[in-house]
């Protein structure tokens, strides 16, 4: 299989800069990720990780630089534009309505309906069936019950519901995950890393922001290190080590792959 360097990037961001008034958040940063790859982005707080990802997901517009998707110019005016192009994100908060069931969360804002004697009603049965199908077929997850509030689920199960909501859109090409294993125990962390691998195995590009280098080395194909708003380096995970990546984070070494 060709390496990520040999394949055309699905997303290619070049020379990205972002200023907020007199503050430079990003300075000449590149990023590329290919289909079916997990790219981890690491760095200390304030390194520019979140700003870079918010540009990719349409939340911010770059001050400078260019973006392409599959070789075509990519211009995003807002997050809706990103979703329309197949780019979505699962943030640390997960943005789930805890009092709703898993299926209600999966279809929140895009509920399935049916007509009964001319009256439009929610099609709860179909939404439940679709939620079960997506969780099982796309993520390999089967919940013990679909009729419980999402608040009663474990951390890993809640992650599965949030990911299922994103991948339910069959046009999803890029999934960004922000600190997906934060506050999870070892077993739930392992389950979440398997979810990430399941998404990658469907040919979707996954970008993971994480402070856990153990998790990063477990699940990623490449690691991009950010430092003080700039790109400190990119390494192939299998050819690197936690020690060398830590050196890049603190500025002891610079490296690019």
pLDDT in tens, 221-230: 999 999 999 9
Q: How many CA atoms lie within 13 A of 128 on its CB side?
A: 11
- pLDDT (average), residues 47-61: 95
* Angle of the 155-167 helix axis to the 124-139 helix axis, nearest 10: 100
32 vs 74: CA distance, rounded Å = 13
* pLDDT surpassing 60 at residue 256: no
Examine the domain organization and report whether 46 and 150 are in the same domain. no
Examine the domain organization and report whether 76 and 203 are in the same domain. yes
- The CA-atom distances, in angstroms, between 149 and each of 59, 95, 107, 188 are 30, 14, 14, 19
pLDDT in tens, 135-153: 999 999 999 889 999 999 9
Examine the domain organization and report whether 14 and 69 are in the same domain. yes
pLDDT band at 254 (very low <50, low <70, confident <90, very high): low
pLDDT in tens, 194-217: 999 999 999 999 999 999 999 999
pLDDT band at 171 (very low <50, low <70, confident <90, very high): confident
Examine the domain organization and report whether 223 and 107 are in the same domain. no
Examine the domain organization and report whether 70 and 9 are in the same domain. yes
Examine the domain organization and report whether 179 and 82 are in the same domain. yes
Task: Give residues with Cβ within 8 angstroms of 6, minimum separation 6.
Answer: none
Residue ending a domain, choose from 170, 190, 225: 170
What the block records as the tokens of 68 is 């392409």
Q: Position of tokens 């929610």?
A: 122
Residue ending a domain, choose from 170, 186, 205: 170
Question: How many domains is the chain partitioned into structurally?
Answer: 2
What is the DSSP code (8-state) at residue 9?
P
Residue ending a domain, choose from 170, 189, 216: 170
Domain coverage including residue 191: 1-86+172-257
Examine the domain organization and report whether 213 and 105 are in the same domain. no
Which CATH number is 205's domain given? 3.40.50.300
Task: Give residues with Cβ within 8 angstroms of 47, minimum separation 6.
Answer: 226, 227, 228, 229, 249
């Amino acid at each position: 299989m060709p390496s990520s360097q040999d394949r055309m990037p699905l997303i290619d961001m070049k020379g990205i800069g972002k200023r907020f008034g007199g503050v430079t958040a990003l300075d000449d940063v590149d990023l590329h990720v290919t289909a079916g790859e997990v790219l981890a982005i690491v760095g200390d707080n304030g390194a520019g990780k979140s700003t870079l990802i918010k540009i990719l997901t349409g939340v911010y517009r770059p001050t400078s630089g260019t973006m392409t998707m599959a070789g075509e110019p990519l211009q995003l005016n807002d997050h809706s534009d990103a979703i329309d192009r197949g780019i979505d994100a699962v943030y640390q908060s997960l943005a789930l309505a805890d009092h709703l069931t898993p299926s209600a969360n999966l279809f929140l804002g895009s509920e399935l309906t049916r007509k009964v004697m001319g009256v439009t009603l929610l099609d709860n049965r179909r939404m439940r069936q679709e939620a079960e199908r997506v969780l099982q077929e796309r993520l390999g997850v089967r919940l013990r019950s679909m009729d419980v509030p999402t608040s009663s689920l474990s951390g890993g199960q809640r992650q599965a519901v949030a990911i299922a909501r994103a991948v339910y859109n069959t046009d999803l090409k890029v999934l960004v995950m922000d600190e997906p294993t934060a506050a999870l125990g070892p077993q739930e962390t392992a389950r979440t890393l398997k979810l990430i691998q399941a998404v990658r195995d469907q040919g979707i590009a996954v970008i993971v922001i994480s402070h856990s280098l153990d998790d990063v080395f477990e699940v990623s194909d490449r690691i991009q290190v950010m430092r003080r708003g700039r790109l400190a380096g990119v390494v192939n995970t299998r050819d690197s080590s936690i020690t060398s990546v830590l050196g890049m984070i603190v500025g002891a070494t610079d490296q690019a792959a």
